Amino acid sequence: MDQRSEIREFLASRRARITPEQVGLPHAGSRRVPGLRREEVAILAGVGVDYYTRIERGNLRGVSDGVLEAIARALQLDEPERTHLFDLARAGSTPARPRRRRSQNQIRPGVQRMVDAMVGVPAFVHNGRTDVLAVNPLGRALYAPMFDTDVRPVNSARFTFLDGRAREFYRDWDRIASDAVAILHTEAGKHPDDRDLSDLVGELSTRSDVFRKRWAEHDVRYHDTGLKRLHHSVLGDLDLTYEVAELRGDQDLTLFVYGAEPQSPSADGLEILASWAASRDQTDVDSPTQ
Protein backbone atom coordinates (compact mmCIF):
# COMPACT_ATOMS: atom_id res chain seq x y z
CA MET A 1 0.00 0.00 0.00
CA ASP A 2 1.64 3.20 -1.23
CA GLN A 3 1.05 5.96 1.29
CA ARG A 4 1.12 8.84 -1.20
CA SER A 5 -1.44 7.03 -3.35
CA GLU A 6 -3.65 6.44 -0.32
CA ILE A 7 -3.62 10.15 0.51
CA ARG A 8 -4.20 11.22 -3.08
CA GLU A 9 -7.06 8.82 -3.73
CA PHE A 10 -8.76 9.44 -0.39
CA LEU A 11 -8.83 13.22 -0.81
CA ALA A 12 -9.84 12.99 -4.46
CA SER A 13 -12.69 10.61 -3.62
CA ARG A 14 -13.99 12.92 -0.88
CA ARG A 15 -13.74 15.93 -3.21
CA ALA A 16 -15.63 14.13 -5.97
CA ARG A 17 -18.75 13.57 -3.87
CA ILE A 18 -19.40 17.25 -3.03
CA THR A 19 -21.15 19.62 -5.44
CA PRO A 20 -20.48 23.37 -5.50
CA GLU A 21 -24.08 23.97 -4.43
CA GLN A 22 -23.53 21.93 -1.25
CA VAL A 23 -20.81 24.32 -0.08
CA GLY A 24 -22.42 27.56 -1.27
CA LEU A 25 -20.36 28.05 -4.43
CA PRO A 26 -22.02 29.28 -7.63
CA HIS A 27 -22.81 26.69 -10.29
CA ALA A 28 -20.16 26.89 -13.01
CA GLY A 29 -21.83 24.92 -15.80
CA SER A 30 -20.87 21.45 -16.95
CA ARG A 31 -17.78 19.80 -15.47
CA ARG A 32 -15.51 17.12 -16.86
CA VAL A 33 -15.41 15.34 -13.50
CA PRO A 34 -17.94 15.28 -10.63
CA GLY A 35 -17.51 17.21 -7.44
CA LEU A 36 -15.36 20.16 -6.47
CA ARG A 37 -12.24 21.29 -8.26
CA ARG A 38 -8.96 21.49 -6.35
CA GLU A 39 -8.97 25.27 -6.46
CA GLU A 40 -12.44 25.32 -4.90
CA VAL A 41 -11.30 23.11 -2.03
CA ALA A 42 -8.32 25.40 -1.55
CA ILE A 43 -10.59 28.44 -1.35
CA LEU A 44 -12.90 26.76 1.14
CA ALA A 45 -9.94 25.65 3.28
CA GLY A 46 -8.24 29.06 3.11
CA VAL A 47 -4.99 27.78 1.61
CA GLY A 48 -3.18 28.38 -1.65
CA VAL A 49 -4.10 26.31 -4.69
CA ASP A 50 -0.52 25.10 -5.18
CA TYR A 51 -0.30 24.16 -1.51
CA TYR A 52 -3.53 22.14 -1.61
CA THR A 53 -2.47 20.51 -4.88
CA ARG A 54 0.75 19.38 -3.20
CA ILE A 55 -1.27 17.93 -0.34
CA GLU A 56 -3.68 16.07 -2.59
CA ARG A 57 -0.77 14.62 -4.53
CA GLY A 58 0.18 12.83 -1.34
CA ASN A 59 2.69 15.15 0.31
CA LEU A 60 1.46 15.82 3.85
CA ARG A 61 4.89 16.33 5.36
CA GLY A 62 4.89 19.42 7.58
CA VAL A 63 1.15 20.13 7.16
CA SER A 64 -0.21 21.61 10.39
CA ASP A 65 -3.20 20.32 12.31
CA GLY A 66 -4.95 23.60 11.57
CA VAL A 67 -4.66 23.08 7.82
CA LEU A 68 -5.86 19.50 8.14
CA GLU A 69 -8.88 20.69 10.14
CA ALA A 70 -9.63 23.29 7.46
CA ILE A 71 -9.46 20.66 4.71
CA ALA A 72 -11.69 18.34 6.75
CA ARG A 73 -14.29 21.12 7.06
CA ALA A 74 -14.05 22.00 3.37
CA LEU A 75 -14.59 18.38 2.35
CA GLN A 76 -17.32 17.90 4.99
CA LEU A 77 -15.56 14.89 6.46
CA ASP A 78 -17.35 13.00 9.22
CA GLU A 79 -15.48 11.98 12.36
CA PRO A 80 -14.10 8.63 11.05
CA GLU A 81 -12.95 10.34 7.84
CA ARG A 82 -11.37 13.20 9.75
CA THR A 83 -9.51 10.75 11.97
CA HIS A 84 -8.39 8.84 8.88
CA LEU A 85 -7.00 12.03 7.33
CA PHE A 86 -4.98 12.73 10.48
CA ASP A 87 -3.78 9.11 10.55
CA LEU A 88 -2.62 9.41 6.94
CA ALA A 89 -0.83 12.66 7.76
CA ARG A 90 0.85 11.14 10.80
CA ALA A 91 2.02 8.10 8.85
CA GLY A 92 3.11 10.26 5.92
CA SER A 93 5.28 12.39 8.19
CA THR A 94 7.12 9.38 9.64
CA PRO A 95 10.39 8.37 7.93
CA ALA A 96 10.18 5.08 6.03
CA ARG A 97 10.97 2.10 8.19
CA PRO A 98 13.47 -0.51 7.04
CA ARG A 99 11.17 -3.30 8.23
CA ARG A 100 7.41 -3.45 8.20
CA ARG A 101 5.47 -4.48 11.30
CA ARG A 102 3.26 -7.51 11.46
CA SER A 103 -0.29 -7.56 12.80
CA GLN A 104 -0.62 -8.65 16.41
CA ASN A 105 -1.60 -12.32 16.34
CA GLN A 106 -1.20 -13.31 19.99
CA ILE A 107 -3.43 -12.67 22.97
CA ARG A 108 -2.67 -12.72 26.66
CA PRO A 109 -3.98 -15.67 28.68
CA GLY A 110 -6.08 -13.27 30.73
CA VAL A 111 -7.92 -12.11 27.60
CA GLN A 112 -8.66 -15.69 26.59
CA ARG A 113 -9.98 -16.45 30.09
CA MET A 114 -12.24 -13.40 29.92
CA VAL A 115 -13.68 -14.49 26.57
CA ASP A 116 -14.18 -18.07 27.77
CA ALA A 117 -16.02 -16.79 30.85
CA MET A 118 -18.69 -15.14 28.67
CA VAL A 119 -20.81 -18.29 28.52
CA GLY A 120 -24.16 -16.68 27.71
CA VAL A 121 -23.12 -14.51 24.78
CA PRO A 122 -21.01 -14.99 21.64
CA ALA A 123 -17.68 -13.18 22.05
CA PHE A 124 -14.65 -12.63 19.80
CA VAL A 125 -11.36 -10.76 19.85
CA HIS A 126 -10.15 -9.34 16.51
CA ASN A 127 -6.98 -7.55 15.55
CA GLY A 128 -7.01 -4.61 13.14
CA ARG A 129 -6.94 -6.77 10.01
CA THR A 130 -10.00 -8.76 11.24
CA ASP A 131 -8.12 -11.90 12.28
CA VAL A 132 -10.07 -13.75 14.99
CA LEU A 133 -7.56 -14.33 17.78
CA ALA A 134 -9.95 -15.54 20.47
CA VAL A 135 -13.51 -16.85 20.47
CA ASN A 136 -15.70 -18.57 23.02
CA PRO A 137 -17.62 -21.78 22.20
CA LEU A 138 -20.89 -19.93 21.61
CA GLY A 139 -19.19 -17.54 19.20
CA ARG A 140 -17.65 -20.44 17.31
CA ALA A 141 -21.03 -22.19 17.12
CA LEU A 142 -22.72 -19.02 15.88
CA TYR A 143 -20.10 -18.37 13.18
CA ALA A 144 -19.59 -22.04 12.30
CA PRO A 145 -19.12 -21.46 8.53
CA MET A 146 -16.36 -18.92 9.13
CA PHE A 147 -14.40 -21.38 11.29
CA ASP A 148 -14.89 -24.21 8.81
CA THR A 149 -11.52 -23.60 7.14
CA ASP A 150 -7.95 -24.84 7.40
CA VAL A 151 -6.56 -21.31 7.09
CA ARG A 152 -5.36 -19.86 10.40
CA PRO A 153 -5.88 -17.37 11.80
CA VAL A 154 -9.53 -17.20 10.78
CA ASN A 155 -10.21 -13.84 9.13
CA SER A 156 -13.69 -12.33 8.86
CA ALA A 157 -12.91 -10.17 5.79
CA ARG A 158 -11.55 -13.20 3.94
CA PHE A 159 -14.70 -15.13 4.84
CA THR A 160 -16.93 -12.29 3.67
CA PHE A 161 -15.40 -11.94 0.22
CA LEU A 162 -13.93 -15.34 -0.61
CA ASP A 163 -16.35 -17.85 0.92
CA GLY A 164 -19.59 -18.31 -1.02
CA ARG A 165 -21.45 -19.26 2.15
CA ALA A 166 -21.04 -15.72 3.49
CA ARG A 167 -23.78 -14.32 1.24
CA GLU A 168 -26.29 -16.72 2.78
CA PHE A 169 -24.96 -16.36 6.32
CA TYR A 170 -25.06 -12.54 6.30
CA ARG A 171 -28.60 -11.45 5.42
CA ASP A 172 -27.19 -7.91 4.97
CA TRP A 173 -24.13 -9.08 3.04
CA ASP A 174 -23.75 -5.83 1.11
CA ARG A 175 -23.54 -3.77 4.30
CA ILE A 176 -21.22 -6.29 5.96
CA ALA A 177 -18.93 -6.18 2.93
CA SER A 178 -18.82 -2.37 3.00
CA ASP A 179 -18.06 -2.42 6.73
CA ALA A 180 -15.23 -4.92 6.22
CA VAL A 181 -13.56 -2.77 3.58
CA ALA A 182 -13.98 0.37 5.68
CA ILE A 183 -12.41 -1.35 8.69
CA LEU A 184 -9.38 -2.44 6.64
CA HIS A 185 -9.02 1.05 5.12
CA THR A 186 -9.10 2.59 8.59
CA GLU A 187 -6.40 0.19 9.74
CA ALA A 188 -4.30 0.92 6.66
CA GLY A 189 -4.38 4.62 7.50
CA LYS A 190 -3.02 3.91 10.97
CA HIS A 191 -0.50 1.24 9.98
CA PRO A 192 0.55 1.54 6.32
CA ASP A 193 3.67 -0.49 7.13
CA ASP A 194 1.72 -3.57 8.26
CA ARG A 195 2.96 -6.44 6.10
CA ASP A 196 0.13 -8.79 7.03
CA LEU A 197 -2.51 -6.17 6.26
CA SER A 198 -0.91 -5.36 2.91
CA ASP A 199 -0.79 -9.06 2.04
CA LEU A 200 -4.47 -9.49 2.96
CA VAL A 201 -5.57 -6.49 0.87
CA GLY A 202 -3.50 -7.81 -2.03
CA GLU A 203 -5.07 -11.26 -1.74
CA LEU A 204 -8.62 -9.92 -1.56
CA SER A 205 -8.03 -7.48 -4.43
CA THR A 206 -6.66 -10.27 -6.62
CA ARG A 207 -9.38 -12.80 -5.85
CA SER A 208 -12.48 -10.60 -5.50
CA ASP A 209 -13.63 -8.04 -8.06
CA VAL A 210 -16.19 -6.78 -5.54
CA PHE A 211 -13.53 -6.12 -2.93
CA ARG A 212 -11.27 -4.38 -5.44
CA LYS A 213 -14.06 -2.04 -6.51
CA ARG A 214 -15.04 -1.19 -2.95
CA TRP A 215 -11.44 -0.68 -1.87
CA ALA A 216 -11.08 1.97 -4.58
CA GLU A 217 -13.94 3.95 -3.00
CA HIS A 218 -11.79 4.70 0.09
CA ASP A 219 -14.67 4.67 2.57
CA VAL A 220 -13.82 4.55 6.28
CA ARG A 221 -16.05 4.27 9.32
CA TYR A 222 -16.11 3.26 12.96
CA HIS A 223 -17.40 -0.17 13.93
CA ASP A 224 -18.70 0.38 17.48
CA THR A 225 -22.21 -0.99 17.79
CA GLY A 226 -25.01 -2.16 15.56
CA LEU A 227 -27.20 -5.03 14.38
CA LYS A 228 -26.12 -8.23 12.65
CA ARG A 229 -28.83 -10.07 10.70
CA LEU A 230 -27.57 -13.63 10.34
CA HIS A 231 -28.94 -16.86 8.94
CA HIS A 232 -27.83 -19.86 10.97
CA SER A 233 -28.01 -23.21 9.19
CA VAL A 234 -29.85 -24.82 12.13
CA LEU A 235 -31.60 -21.97 13.96
CA GLY A 236 -32.66 -19.91 10.96
CA ASP A 237 -32.71 -16.11 11.03
CA LEU A 238 -31.14 -14.31 14.01
CA ASP A 239 -31.14 -10.57 14.72
CA LEU A 240 -28.28 -9.84 17.10
CA THR A 241 -26.98 -6.59 18.47
CA TYR A 242 -23.25 -6.20 19.03
CA GLU A 243 -21.04 -3.99 21.16
CA VAL A 244 -17.36 -3.30 20.54
CA ALA A 245 -14.66 -2.43 23.08
CA GLU A 246 -10.98 -1.77 22.55
CA LEU A 247 -8.63 -3.76 24.77
CA ARG A 248 -6.46 -0.94 26.01
CA GLY A 249 -3.79 -3.30 27.31
CA ASP A 250 -3.23 -4.75 23.82
CA GLN A 251 -2.41 -2.79 20.70
CA ASP A 252 -5.18 -2.83 18.08
CA LEU A 253 -7.18 -5.66 19.66
CA THR A 254 -10.96 -5.33 19.88
CA LEU A 255 -13.60 -7.32 21.78
CA PHE A 256 -16.93 -8.03 20.05
CA VAL A 257 -19.88 -9.21 22.15
CA TYR A 258 -23.24 -10.22 20.68
CA GLY A 259 -26.68 -10.29 22.29
CA ALA A 260 -30.38 -10.43 21.51
CA GLU A 261 -33.50 -8.62 22.65
CA PRO A 262 -34.93 -10.40 25.73
CA GLN A 263 -37.78 -12.83 25.06
CA SER A 264 -37.26 -12.60 21.31
CA PRO A 265 -36.92 -15.52 18.86
CA SER A 266 -33.25 -14.60 18.50
CA ALA A 267 -32.75 -14.81 22.27
CA ASP A 268 -34.38 -18.25 22.26
CA GLY A 269 -32.07 -19.25 19.43
CA LEU A 270 -28.99 -18.15 21.36
CA GLU A 271 -30.11 -20.18 24.38
CA ILE A 272 -30.47 -23.28 22.23
CA LEU A 273 -27.09 -22.65 20.64
CA ALA A 274 -25.47 -22.08 24.04
CA SER A 275 -26.79 -25.40 25.35
CA TRP A 276 -25.46 -27.18 22.30
CA ALA A 277 -22.07 -25.45 22.48
CA ALA A 278 -21.71 -26.24 26.20
CA SER A 279 -22.35 -29.92 25.55
CA ARG A 280 -19.72 -30.28 22.85
CA ASP A 281 -16.54 -32.17 23.57
CA GLN A 282 -14.09 -29.28 23.87
CA THR A 283 -11.17 -31.51 22.99
CA ASP A 284 -12.49 -31.51 19.42
CA VAL A 285 -12.38 -27.72 19.16
CA ASP A 286 -9.20 -26.22 17.71
CA SER A 287 -8.02 -22.85 19.00
CA PRO A 288 -8.31 -20.15 16.28
CA THR A 289 -4.76 -19.09 17.06
CA GLN A 290 -3.30 -22.48 16.14
Q: What pLDDT score does 285 carry?
A: 41
Whether 60 contacts 88, CB under 8 Å:
yes
Q: Would you report the helix, strand and coil content of the chain in percent, each value rounded to 5?
A: 50, 10, 40
Domains, the chain, with CATH or none: 3-92 (1.10.260.40), 109-284 (3.30.450.180)
Distance CA 88, CA 82 (A): 10
Query: What residues contact residue 247 under an 8 Å CB cut-off, 6+ apart?
Result: 111, 125, 253, 254, 255
In the chain, at which residue ranges do the beta strands (DSSP E only) sit? 123-126, 132-135, 225-232, 236-246, 254-259
The DSSP line for 258-277 is: EE--TTSHHHHHHHHHHHHH
In tens, the pLDDT along 145-157 reads 999 999 889 999 9
Q: What is the pLDDT of residues 187-197, one digit of tens each?
A: 988 888 888 99
- The four Cα atoms 102, 178, 23, 26 give a dihedral, to 10 degrees, of 120
State yes or no: pLDDT of 159 exceeds 50.
yes
Give 287's pLDDT tier (boundaries 50, 70, 90): very low
